[in-house]
Structure 1
Amino acid sequence: MARSACLLSAVCSIIFLVTPMSQAGYEPAEKLGTPKGADTGHETYIPVVSDQDFQSVMQKDQKAKPTVMDAHQKLLERRYDLSDKPSKTMMSGGRKAVQEGVRVRLPDGVTWDDLATMSPAEIQDKGLFPKGFLPLPHAKHATGGMVFPENQIERITELEQRDLKRFDVEFDMPAHLMPEFPPPLFLTTRPDLGDVSQGKLLSIDNYFEIMHGLITPVQMEGLRLLLTPFPQQQFNQTEDRKVMRPSLGVTCLDCHANGHTNAAFHLNPDTRPHAARLRLDTVSLRGMFNQQIHGSKRSLRSVEDFSEFEQRTAYFDGDHVTAAKKGVHLPNRPDQVAMMAQMQNMLDFPPAPKLDVLGRLDPDNATEQELLGQKVFNGKGQCAACHAAPVFMDNLMHDLKVERFYKPQMINDQFIHAEGPIKTFTLRGIKDSPPYLHDGRLLTLEDTVEFFNLVLSLQLNTEEKAALTAYMRTL
């Protein structure tokens, strides 16, 4: 595992974190119009009192928005092929095709086979780690906060007349690279019904009509709370919000649409300084009943802890001081939190008709390529070491030490550094949940296979990579 390179990277990270960025003596790897004024200091707390009035801040943000989004769009285009390339495989709701193909762009003159022959230290020294494999910045990393896709914004405006559109930043990925919308909703208690969403997005406006007769009173009350807007750092009624009008806030299911995900993103609350925080792609809540650790850095040990933490801390960028100012909702643990957890535990994985009850492919119902993919998954690919059937996760945290491949640097206001351990995400229903990895840096399953092939030095050949991708689409 190139232990010496790991130690060197760790030492470098420590040096950068205790040295002001302006004095660190490095050259940013990407200079694509990086917005000025990035928060690169070492504050633990977010400023509570603004030194500017709301109208001045909004006008400044609106004026800067085109420059901010242009810089981020150029970063994305430099890293990825963003074109629309649908496969023949449909997502679980049958409303959208899974995208296919490797989208991460390689450095000029280098192939995947070339990279596979190099050590992490050599790749780092030559600067050949694909940019799309680096941590992905927030579209406006210096500010952060929740950013919702346009389809969610439009539907919530239509249903509730509640505005989720920020005036300072926009969602950054094309719709064809996102999960289907609205996502299907499956219940552990009624698997016979399949998708119970009726093709609609659940909101406070329609949830009772859709779910009446399908869930218990306790679950119904939990769902109501999950669909009730509460103040959040950028969506609230104070002068430092990022929406034009004072806002009631956001709901849990504004990100976890229909108990799944719409790929909304924000920054993790449990890292400082601000520039070092990680972009977080919204994870699916499907299969929560089988998960034992939660949260962005997975320090939470129950669904109840997760629900309470999100309201108290994650909604406010990990800062309880500003939360008190903006109207933090403190749900009562014995009833409100318990009911929210009860509803989340009802959310099932989508059907996987090619798998048997132990999570193995039925040989009579799978293709030769899928069967080969299962063999690679459990063998040479080492996937099952963390993603064991039937739930395809191990409820542990792992550190891939990806920093072996790159040097600490600033990219579009994000300080790229060693990220530490991250929870193993379930692979059940994975075709429904693009983009991939905790920050959404991998746009397709093919990208994900190439990433792990390089980072884990698996030496998979072209046939094995394709088979592994085909297998994961059956899960």
Structure 2
Amino acid sequence: MRRTPCGRRWLHASLAAALLAAGAPALLAQTESFDELVKRLQREKPAFAKRQQDLLAQRYDLSDRPAQGVTMSRGKPVQQGVRVRLPQGVTWQQLAALPPDEIKRRRLWPQGFLPLPHPHHEAGGMIFPQPLIDETKRQTARDLTRFDLDFDLPQHLLPEFPAPIFLTTRPDLGDVSKGQLVTLDNFQALFKDVLNPKQLEGLRLLVTPFPQQQFNATDDRRSLRPHLGVACFDCHANGHTNAATHTVGDIRPDALRHRIDTPSLRGVNVQRLFGSQRALKTVEDFTEFEQRAAYFDGDHSAAARKGVNVLERGSQVHFMGEFQALLDFPPAPKLDVTGRLDPAKATPAELRGEKVFNGKGQCSSCHMPPYYTDNLMHNLRTERFYEEGITFNGRKAMQDGPIKTFPLRGIKDSPPYLHDDRLMTLEDTVEFFNLVLGVKLSDQEKQDLVAFLRTL
């Protein structure tokens, strides 16, 4: 094994995967300089991008079809319609009439309801939508581009960017971001007259970049130049989400790791569980865990080498948590003080949808008003519907396990849905749970339920 001029040894990804699959020690490596690494991964990039786009096209209709007159909080159109493609020769109503074992035996489970792989599942790591990359670079000259891969989903299916910020302490101000992406460059000007000193310091830390697995100063990074790192608000842009994705750090091997959706931080003050599967008990636990472990794919040795940011629990973590607890849900003018529809403001379809939500649809068994969560974990056992072990684009379809109940307040602002982004629209989500819960909703009931969800 030869050495590069800099004396470092690098792991060739495809060779390492083959060795590990064969049970060989992970320490076996092929020498590769950083320049060679960049050139190889850039050569491989188009093939992996095409592989992912082919899978998305096979699973979904990704066309731009906005719903008439339905927008997110700042006016971005909400996409409508079921986007998951059905198996040939079967309708949604026919599928819903079959028991899980029959769907499994006949292999009728829609591919779009299987776990969604990361844009390059074998490589994994943080990857950001282009608008966030462009605006961050414009404001701060920090480039979040990866030389080995790009984000995979089209912009019209993602949350609006930048998202508005609503504060529990100052609802009178409306969107305190004033339509800007909050970064280290502008947070002081936007918030100095709104927050107290602790909250302002917490926000500063949330927009400060720190080393992360793919963005750091080591030569095994995935940025062309040595990098300061990423900030909490690079994924949770403006305290919401921009649909940036990653792979979970607490599952091995890589084929079983979940793609993870970036959840909104809106309403964390009413939540009691954090992380889609980890069941962290406070927002402070979540904040510290992300910096110490999730930033580095759960590898503490990599964290030490790349420059982990060890936050001080009594002040820094506390200040960050205090600001996050101020992030409010967007206004929902059709809801009353109990979180239910005001009959004087709602349409007949929305009122019918609320009855489905609380009755036949069984949605309220987990998503209870006023915030539409039960602060628990639930195992949907989707593996009832398909043969486990199917592999696609480096991801093996296995059981999801217990998943946190996310609040549904402001849900139309947060596509795509489920913990790994596999559901593109609210209509997809309704069809998914109609099968998982076996409630056999009619077409009209599904439409009414979507109408209700848009009011939350």
TM-score between the two structures when normalised by the length of structure 2: 0.94
Which amino acid is 1:221 matched to? E
Deviation, 1:36, is 6.5
The residue aligned with 1:250 is: 230
For residues 62 and 105 of structure 1, the distance between their equivalents in structure 2, rounded to whole angstroms, comes to 32
Deviations 1:309-352 (A, max 9, x none): 00000000111111111000000000000000001000000000
Amino acid across the alignment from 2:330: P
C-alpha distance in structure 2 between counterparts of 1:406 and 1:72, whole Å: 21
In the alignment, the residues of structure 1 paired with residue 72 and residue 55 of structure 2 have an alpha-carbon distance, to the nearest angstrom, of 31
Alpha-carbon contact 1:221-1:339 (below 8 Å) kept: yes
Q: How does 1:453-468 map to 2 (within 5 A)?
A: 453-468=434-449
Give the alignment partner of residue 316 of structure 1, picking from 296, 315, 340.
296
In structure 2, distance between residues paired with 1:398 and 1:289: 21
1:365 aligns with 2:356: no
CA contact (8 A) 1:270 1:296 kept: no
Structure 2 contact 16–28 (Cα < 8 Å) conserved:
no
Match of 1:434 among 410, 415, 421: 415
Counterpart-to-counterpart distance in 1, 2:331 and 2:289: 30
Q: How far apart, CA to CA, are the structure 2 residues paired with 1:49 and 1:217?
A: 49
| Aligned ranges 1:153-232 → 2 under 5 Å | 153-232=133-212
Aligned to 1:443: 424
- Once residues 26 and 80 of structure 2 are traced to their aligned partners in structure 1, the CA distance between those partners, rounded to angstroms, is 41
The equivalences for 1:75-114 within 5 A come to: 75-114=55-94
Q: Which residue of 1 aligns with 2:6?
A: none
Question: How far, CA to CA, are the matches of 1:296 and 1:400 in structure 2?
Answer: 13
| Deviation (angstroms), 1:215 | 1.0
SS of structure 1 residue aligned to 2:176? coil
Match of residue 348 from structure 1? 328
What CA distance in whole angstroms lies between the structure 1 residues aligned with 2:16 and 2:153?
A: 22
Matched residues in 2 for 1:387 and 1:424: separation?
7
1:474 aligns with 2:455: yes
Shift of residue 37 of structure 1?
Answer: 6.2
Number of residue pairs matched by the alignment: 441
1:9 is matched with which residue? none
What SS is found at the alignment partner of 2:246?
A: strand
More divergent stretch after superposition (300-309 vs 118-127): 118-127
Name the amino acid aligned to 1:240: D
Q: What is aligned with 1:415?
A: 396
Structure 1 residues not aligned, in runs of 5+ = 1-34
- Closer/same/farther in 2, CA of residues 236 and 47 from structure 1, 3 Å limit: farther
RMSD: 1.8
Give the aligned partner of residue 300 of structure 1: 280
Q: Which residue of 2 aligns with 1:149?
A: 129
Code of the aligned partner of 2:96: A
Q: What is the CA–CA distance in structure 2 between the aligned matches of 1:47 and 1:341, rounded to whole Å?
A: 39
- Report the Cα offset of residue 38 of structure 1: 8.5
SS of alignment partner, residue 420 of structure 2: coil
Aligned-partner Cα distance in 2 for 1:121–1:425: 28
Separation (CA, whole Å) in 2 of partners of 1:95 and 1:389: 25
Cα distance, 1:268 vs structure 2: 1.0
How far is the alpha carbon of 1:437 from its aligned partner? 0.1
- TM-superposed CA distance for 1:252, in Å, is 0.2
* 1:48–1:322 Cα contact (<8 Å) kept: no
Amino acid at match of 2:114: L
**Equivalent AA in structure 2 for residue 470 of structure 1:** A
1:99-154 deviation line (CA, Å, top 9, x unaligned): 00000000111110111111111111111100000000001000100110000000
Letter in 2 for 1:459: K
Residue 19 of structure 1 is matched in structure 2 by none
2:264 corresponds in structure 1 to: 284
For structure 2, the 5+ residue unaligned runs are 1-12
Q: What one-letter code is carried by the residue in structure 2 that aligns with 1:145?
A: G
Q: Deviations over 1:219-261 (max 9, x none)?
A: 1000000000001010111111001001000000000000000
Query: Conserved in 1, the CA contact under 8 Å of 2:16 and 2:29?
Result: no
For residues 31-55 of structure 1, the C-alpha deviation after alignment (integer angstroms, 9 at most, x for no partner) is xxxx976847479x98798842111
Taking the aligned partners of 1:304 and 1:79, their CA distance within structure 2 comes to 38
Paired position in structure 2 for 1:18:
none
For 2:99, the equivalent position in structure 1 comes to 119
Q: Which has the higher contact order (CA 8 A, sep 6+)?
A: 1
**8 Å Cα contact 2:216-2:229 kept in structure 1:** yes
Q: Share of identical aligned residues, percent? A: 57
CA 1:38–1:376 in 2, change beyond 3 Å: closer, same or farther? farther
Query: CA–CA distance in 2 between the matches of 1:49 and 1:344?
Result: 42
Contact 1:135 1:439 in 2 (8 A): yes
Q: Secondary structure at the match of 2:165?
A: coil
Separation of aligned partners in 2, 1:247 and 1:47: 26
Pair 370,48 (structure 1): closer, same or farther in 2 beyond 3 Å: farther
Distance, in Å, in 1 between the alignment partners of 2:30 and 2:379 is 38
Relative to 1, partners in 2 of residues 1:111 and 1:92: Cα closer, same or farther, differing over 3 Å? closer
Contact 2:239 2:264 in 1 (8 A): yes
Q: Structure 1's 48 and 313: CA in aligned 2 closer, same or farther, altered over 3 A?
A: farther
Distance of 2:276 and 2:299 partners within structure 1: 15
Give, as a single letter, the amino acid of the residue that structure 2 aligns with 1:461: S
Deviation at 1:296, TM superposition (A): 3.5
Distance in 2 of aligned mates of 1:473 and 1:425: 16
Distance, in Å, in 2 between the alignment partners of 1:90 and 1:331 is: 41
Residues 48-87 of structure 1 aligned to structure 2 (within 5 Å): 51-87=31-67
| CA shift for structure 1 position 88 | 2.6
Q: CA deviation at 1:276?
A: 0.6
Distance in 1 separating the partners of 2:311 and 2:390: 40
Name the TM-score, length of structure 1 as normaliser: 0.90
Distance 2:197 2:99 in 1: 57
Displacement of 1:92: 4.0
CA distance 1:37–1:142, change in 2 (3 Å): farther
CA distance in 2, matches of 1:210, 1:147: 27
**2:16 and 2:26 in contact (8 A); partners too:** no
